[in-house]
Chain A
Amino acid sequence: MGTRLVIIFISGILINNIVLSRSIGICPFLGVSKQVETAIGMGLAVTFVMTVSSAATWVVQTYVLEKFDLMYLQTITFILIIAALVQFVEMVILKSSPTLYQGLGVYLPLITTNCAVLGVTIINVDNHYNLLESMINGCAVALGFTLAIVIFAGIRERLAFSDIPKPFQGFPIALITAGLLSIAFLGFQGLL
């Protein structure tokens, strides 16, 4: 049991990195990765939301969708759950901790309909994880997302000051960088 959780955790971060191996969650990966600081904020917000929504969707999947044989409603239900959950969490954070809201709150609306969050919840279901495994996987995948986006932001911060040929400036060089980063992460395939 313990080893299985560790394997899920490590594979979620490194081997099956959601951005660099599965190519899910590319929009925030490209959009919020110009500065390391904002990338960390986004990463933390995603970590929080993914862990919570992994648990919530597992409950709904097991006790509602499978009970009523409504598996074909999975996607739309999960989107509904995640969106409502994020809004709710945003309100709670705003009320309970203005400081945390300053750091995290601005990114929360961005995650409302984030494909990576939806992707994790569906991967959880496809792999028949139980509640604990789902949450571990959600957290690990989010940490992998954070790792990828922070590394990427660090590279982009340096790219901003380097002499890039004109046709490659901006998004082209960012995409090439992302591709190289993805190839680098391919090396983790042999880890387990």
Chain B
Amino acid sequence: MSNLIMIAKAVGVLGGFGLLFGAVLAYASKKFAVEVDPRAEELLAILPGANCGGCGYPGCSGYADAILQGAPTNSCPVGGATVAEKIAAVMGVAVDTSAIRQVATVYCRGGKEECGKRFQYTGVQTCRAAQAVGGGDKLCTFGCLGYGDCLRACPFDAISMGDNGLPVIDEAKCTGCEQCVLACPRKITALRPVDALVQVRCLSEAKGKDVRAICSTGCIGCGLCMKACPFDAITLENNLARIDYSKCRKCGLCVTKCPTKAIVGQLEARPKAIIGDDCVGCSICKKACPVGAIEGELKAKHRVDHDKCVGCGLCAEKCPKHTINMQ
């Protein structure tokens, strides 16, 4: 009997405590409930969850909080336009799609074959370590060291190492999170708007003669591109060609003229001019074309040679009948 009483006492006291604490905690969870903005969780579900910091906030939850405080809805480089739209829907604001997607670009084309080594580096196989040893083993002090710090930094697996020892960026996967830009000790990787289709892929500020001595594909500052550009978009600064993207029409004439192939252009993406039926044969377009791609007799409908057309759009601008379309 005394055993039973003992058990009953133990169960009673411990169970009583359990009940009491349970009740107190249940009450407290109601009484001290903190009102969390339900949109915070919604936003967190929309955001990609990569926590890459590309938006400039500490991780996705940091950005979600910032949006609730009034941060722009289109700062997530990973999610891009789709995520920006969803966020805007949650927040009830208009979508700001003015931001053009940024992608990382490796501004060097001097791989193993194009540009040699100053000495044999056998240390830790990272760019940062190699750079610390006498300024890197590459002959060119501006060029890519090729130990892949950028591809190790990439959270999206968008960078791979090419056969020639230069990183290759998959622009479809790149989200513009800037991790590779921060990882590169020589600041060779940089972001560019995805529609900047023509790039000078060299950062060497050395004199043309010196560049030619060490690298077969560096910018030698010859200025041929500058002369070839119909839009004066290219200038030479510190022995290096620089493209002003506000003027560049992506015609790619500089790409074809560059003697060292330091300028790269995604030329297959260029549009082509198509002359419509309203053409009166004034031949203004013919005179405007920088590459002589337009043919036709005066007063007769003109024709565009699509093999020659570089898609600069000058003809479309000059046409008094507005009948030339860029497609």
Which residues of A does B touch, CB under 8 Å? 60, 64-65, 68-70, 73, 76-77, 80-81, 84, 87-88, 91-92, 94-96, 98
Given known A-B contacts A68-B9, A84-B24, A91 and B14 have beta carbons under 8 A apart: no
* B25 A73 Cβ-Cβ under 8 A: no
Q: Which residue of B lies closest to A101 (CB)?
A: B34
Given known A-B contacts A68-B9, A73-B10, A77-B14, A92 and B21 have beta carbons under 8 A apart: no
Q: Please give the number of chain B residues whose Cβ is less than 8 angstroms from any Cβ of chain A in the complex.
A: 14
A147–B226 Cα distance when bound, in Å, is 68
Q: Which residues of chain A are near B34, meaning CB under 8 Å? A: 94-95, 98
Q: Which residues of chain B are near A94, meaning CB under 8 Å? A: 32, 34
Q: List 24 A-B contacts (CB under 8 A).
A: A60-B17, A64-B13, A68-B9, A69-B9, A70-B9, A73-B10, A76-B14, A77-B14, A77-B17, A80-B14, A80-B17, A80-B18, A80-B21, A84-B21, A84-B25, A88-B24, A88-B25, A88-B28, A91-B28, A91-B32, A92-B32, A95-B34, A96-B32, A98-B34
Within the complex, the shortest CB–CB distance from A90 to chain B, in Å, comes to 9
Q: Does B246 contact A (CB under 8 A)?
A: no
A8–B81 Cα distance when bound, in Å, is 64
Q: Does B98 contact A (CB under 8 A)?
A: no
A156–B25 Cα distance when bound, in Å, is 38
A69–B13 Cα distance when bound, in Å, is 11
Which residues of B does A touch, CB under 8 Å? 9-10, 13-14, 17-18, 21, 24-25, 28-29, 32-34
Q: Which residue of A lies closest to B29 (CB)?
A: A91
Q: Which residues of chain A are near B13, meaning CB under 8 Å? A: 64-65, 68, 70, 73, 77
Give the contacting residue for B14; candidates A69, A73, A87; CB below 8 A.
Answer: A73
Chain B binding surface SS class: helix
Q: Which residues of chain B are near A95, meaning CB under 8 Å? A: 32-34
Given known A-B contacts A70-B9, A80-B14, A80-B18, A87 and B25 have beta carbons under 8 A apart: yes
Q: Which residues of chain A are near B14, meaning CB under 8 Å? A: 73, 76-77, 80
A159–B315 Cα distance when bound, in Å, is 69
A91–B25 Cα distance when bound, in Å, is 9
A95–B30 Cα distance when bound, in Å, is 11
A115–B101 Cα distance when bound, in Å, is 53
Give the 8 A-B residue pairs with the shortest CB-CB distance, closest first.
A84-B21, A95-B32, A91-B32, A91-B28, A68-B9, A94-B34, A88-B28, A80-B17
Q: Which residue of B lies closest to A65 (CB)?
A: B13
A60–B29 Cα distance when bound, in Å, is 23
A48–B21 Cα distance when bound, in Å, is 20
Q: Which residues of chain A are near B33, meaning CB under 8 Å? A: 95
A95–B13 Cα distance when bound, in Å, is 31
Q: Which residues of chain B are near A70, meaning CB under 8 Å? A: 9-10, 13
A66–B33 Cα distance when bound, in Å, is 36
Q: Which residues of chain A are near B18, meaning CB under 8 Å? A: 80
Known: A80-B14, A80-B18, A87-B25. 9 other contacts (CB 8 A): A60-B17, A68-B9, A69-B9, A70-B13, A73-B13, A81-B21, A84-B21, A84-B25, A92-B32
Given known A-B contacts A88-B25, A92-B32, A94-B32, A81 and B17 have beta carbons under 8 A apart: yes
Within the complex, the shortest CB–CB distance from A99 to chain B, in Å, comes to 13
Interface centre among B10, B18, B33, by most chain A C-beta atoms within 10 angstroms, is: B10
Q: Which residues of chain A are near B9, meaning CB under 8 Å? A: 68-70
Q: Which residue of B lies closest to A76 (CB)?
A: B14
A80–B32 Cα distance when bound, in Å, is 21
A76–B32 Cα distance when bound, in Å, is 27
Q: Which residue of A lies closest to B16 (CB)?
A: A64
A70–B18 Cα distance when bound, in Å, is 16
Within the complex, the shortest CB–CB distance from B310 to chain A, in Å, comes to 57
Within the complex, the shortest CB–CB distance from B125 to chain A, in Å, comes to 19
Q: Which residues of chain B are near A81, meaning CB under 8 Å? A: 17, 21
A88–B14 Cα distance when bound, in Å, is 19
